[in-house]
C-alpha cells in the first residue's frame, strides 16, 4: 500500500454565521493565501456520511453551500477521477475537524486539498464540527462566510442573503448542450438541473440516454421522441425556478416520468403542490425511509434542503399517492401519479456515496417505460 503525503499552507481563519456565531480554524491550501478578507460565502449544512467526501464535494446539488462533515477525519484515502460526480467542486466551501495530510488508497491519484485548491474553494480545517452541527440543528442552515483577518469585518459580511432561499441555482448547474450517452434499451431524455455522473451511469444501464439542458422546453423534449423522461437532482430553491412548471406540465401524462431530489420537487410543483424549506435539510447516507406499499425500510442517501408539502399534494391538479416517508421526521420522500405513469423520490437511489437499497427504482422506471411502449 502506498502512503502519500502532501505539503500545504495554512492560515488562521474564521467561519462566521449570519447570527454572529464564529468558529475558528485554519484555511489550508496548496499555495499560500495572497489576501485577507472574505474568501467565500454560502449556506452552512452538515453531512453525516462516513466516506464519499469527493462525491459530496463535486455534487452540483451542493452549489451555494458550505459542507460540514460530521466525520472528524477527512482526506485519508485521497481522490480519483472515477469518483467525480461532475467536472468540478460545486460546494462553496468544505469544513472539517481534521484534514489528513497523508492519504493511502490504491485508487487515489490526488488529494482532496488538490481538488479544492484547483477550484478555488476553501478547505477549512480544525473546526469544532460537533459544535457547529449542533448549532445548525438548533438554529437552521444559516448564511455564513469563510475568511481571514478581522472577525468583526467577516461578521458584517455574513448575511441571510447567502442562503439558498429564493435562489435558482439549478438552471445553470447542468449541461448547456445536448449530450448523447449510448446505452441498452429505449430512448429516455434526462433534464439536467445538476445531474450527478452516477445517475447518468445508472440510467445508461437501462436506456439509450439523451441529456438536455434544464431550460429545454416540453416541445424540445418531445421532439426527441422519448419513451420516458427523467428529471434530475440539482441545487437551490425549487420555488425560484420559473420555467419548470410549463416544461413539466407539457410532458407529464405523455410519457413515463421519473424524478429524483429537485426533480421530485419540480414535478410536485408542476401539478400544483407546494414545497418548503427544511430547518437544516437532510444530508447523509443513513436516512431511514419507509416504502409504504410493503413497509420495507430503505437506508438512503440524501442531500436536500427543501421538501414537498404533504397536505398540498392532496389538492394537486392530478391524483398523487405518497409512496415513501422519512422515518426520522415524516417528510414526504416519494409520490406517484398513477394515472400519468410518473414516480419521484426525494432521496438519491443512485447513492454515491451511500447504500444501494434503492437501486430498484431505476428498474421500476425501466419497467414503466417498457409497459408504455
Q: Are residue 192 and residue 302 in the same domain, yes or no? A: yes
Q: Tens digit of pLDDT for each residue in 1-35?
A: 456 767 778 899 999 999 999 999 999 988 777 77
- Give this prediction's pTM: 0.96
Cα 219 → chain centroid: 28
Please provide the distance, in angstroms rounded to a whole number, between the alpha carbons at the two ends of the chain.
51
Residue 168 in any domain: the answer is: no
Q: Are residue 357 and residue 211 in the same domain, yes or no? A: yes
Residue 39 in any domain: the answer is: yes
Residues classed as catalytic:
261, 348, 350
Residue 213 in any domain: the answer is: yes
Which residue, among 267, 278, 286, has the nearest Cα to 330 in the 3D structure? 278
Residue 114: pLDDT band (50, 70, 90) is very high
What the block records as the C-alpha cell of 325 is 416517508
Residue 172 in any domain: the answer is: no
How many other CB atoms are found less than 10 A from the CB of residue 367? Answer: 13
Residue 295: pLDDT band (50, 70, 90) is very high
Q: Are residue 361 and residue 221 in the same domain, yes or no? A: yes
Which residue, among 292, 282, 293, has the nearest Cα to 354 in the 3D structure? 282
Enclosing H/E stretch for 246: helix 244-249
Residue pair 194/61 in contact (Cβ under 8 Å)? The answer is yes
DSSP character at residue 255: B
Which residue, among 54, 39, 47, 45, has the nearest Cα to 71 in the 3D structure? 47
Q: Are residue 337 and residue 207 in the same domain, yes or no? A: yes
Q: Are residue 244 and residue 117 in the same domain, yes or no? A: no
Q: Tens digit of pLDDT for each residue in 299-351?
A: 999 999 999 999 999 999 999 999 999 999 999 999 999 999 999 999 999 99
Helices (H) and strands (E) in the chain, counts: 10, 21
CA distance 324 to 30: 44
Residue 174 in any domain: the answer is: no
Q: Are residue 78 and residue 210 in the same domain, yes or no? A: no
Q: Tens digit of pLDDT for each residue in 138-191?
A: 999 999 999 998 999 999 999 889 999 999 999 999 999 999 999 889 999 999
What are phi and psi for residue 262, nearest 5 degrees? -60, -40
Cβ burial 36-52 (10 Å sphere, 16+ → b, else e): eebbbbbbbbbbbbeeb
Q: Tens digit of pLDDT for each residue in 211-235?
A: 999 999 999 999 999 999 999 999 9
Q: CATH number of the domain that 84 lies in?
A: 3.50.30.20
Q: Tens digit of pLDDT for each residue in 68-90?
A: 999 999 999 999 999 999 999 99
Which residue, among 40, 42, 45, 14, has the nearest Cα to 27 in the 3D structure? 14
Q: Are residue 346 and residue 205 in the same domain, yes or no? A: yes
Q: Which domain holds residue 296?
A: 179-372
How many other CB atoms are found less than 10 A from the CB of residue 352? Answer: 21
Q: Are residue 304 and residue 191 in the same domain, yes or no? A: yes
> Where a domain ends, among 111, 132, 162?
162
Residue 271 in any domain: the answer is: yes
Q: Are residue 237 and residue 360 in the same domain, yes or no? A: yes
Number of domains in the chain: 2
What integer is the mean pLDDT of 236-260? 98
pLDDT of 285 over the 80 cut:
yes
Q: Are residue 153 and residue 189 in the same domain, yes or no? A: no
Residue 274 in any domain: the answer is: yes
Amino acid at each position: 500500500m502506498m502512503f502519500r503525503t502532501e505539503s500545504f499552507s495554512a492560515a488562521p481563519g474564521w467561519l462566521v454565521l449570519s447570527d454572529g456565531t464564529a468558529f475558528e480554524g485554519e484555511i489550508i491550501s496548496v499555495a499560500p493565501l495572497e489576501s485577507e478578507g472574505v474568501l467565500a460565502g454560502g449556506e452552512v449544512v452538515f453531512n453525516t456520511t462516513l466516506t464519499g467526501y469527493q462525491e459530496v464535494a463535486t455534487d452540483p446539488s451542493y452549489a451555494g453551500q458550505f459542507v460540514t462533515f460530521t466525520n472528524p477525519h477527512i482526506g485519508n484515502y485521497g481522490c480519483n477521477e472515477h469518483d467525480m460526480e461532475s467536472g468540478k467542486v460545486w460546494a462553496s466551501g468544505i469544513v472539517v475537524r481534521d484534514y489528513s495530510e497523508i492519504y493511502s488508497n490504491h485508487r487515489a491519484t490526488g488529494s482532496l486539498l488538490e481538488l479544492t485548491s484547483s477550484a478555488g474553494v476553501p478547505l477549512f480545517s480544525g473546526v469544532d464540527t460537533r459544535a457547529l452541527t449542533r448549532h445548525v440543528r438548533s438554529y437552521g442552515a444559516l448564511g455564513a462566510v469563510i475568511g481571514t483577518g478581522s472577525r468583526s469585518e467577516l461578521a458584517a459580511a455574513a448575511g441571510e442573503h447567502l442562503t439558498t432561499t429564493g435562489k435558482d441555482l439549478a438552471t445553470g448547474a447542468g449541461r448547456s448542450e445536448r449530450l448523447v450517452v449510448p446505452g441498452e434499451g429505449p430512448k429516455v431524455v434526462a433534464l439536467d438541473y445538476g445531474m450527478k455522473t452516477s445517475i447518468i451511469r445508472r440510467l445508461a444501464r437501462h436506456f439509450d440516454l439523451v441529456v438536455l439542458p434544464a431550460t429545454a422546453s416540453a416541445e424540445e423534449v418531445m421532439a426527441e421522441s422519448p419513451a420516458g423522461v427523467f428529471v434530475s437532482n440539482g441545487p437551490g430553491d425549487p420555488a425560484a425556478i420559473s420555467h419548470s412548471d410549463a416544461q413539466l406540465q407539457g410532458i407529464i401524462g405523455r410519457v413515463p416520468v421519473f424524478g429524483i431530489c429537485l426533480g421530485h420537487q419540480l414535478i410536485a410543483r408542476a401539478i400544483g403542490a407546494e414545497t418548503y424549506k427544511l430547518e437544516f435539510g437532510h444530508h447523509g447516507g443513513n436516512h431511514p425511509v419507509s416504502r409504504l406499499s410493503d413497509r420495507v425500510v430503505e437506508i438512503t442517501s440524501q442531500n436536500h434542503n427543501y421538501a414537498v408539502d404533504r397536505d398540498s399534494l392532496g389538492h394537486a391538479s392530478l391524483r398523487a399517492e405518497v409512496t415513501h416517508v422519512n422515518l426520522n421526521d415524516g417528510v414526504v420522500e416519494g409520490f406517484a401519479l398513477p394515472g400519468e405513469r410518473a414516480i419521484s423520490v426525494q432521496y438519491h437511489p443512485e447513492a454515491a456515496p451511500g447504500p444501494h437499497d434503492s437501486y430498484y427504482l431505476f428498474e421500476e422506471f425501466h419497467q414503466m417505460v417498457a409497459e408504455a411502449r
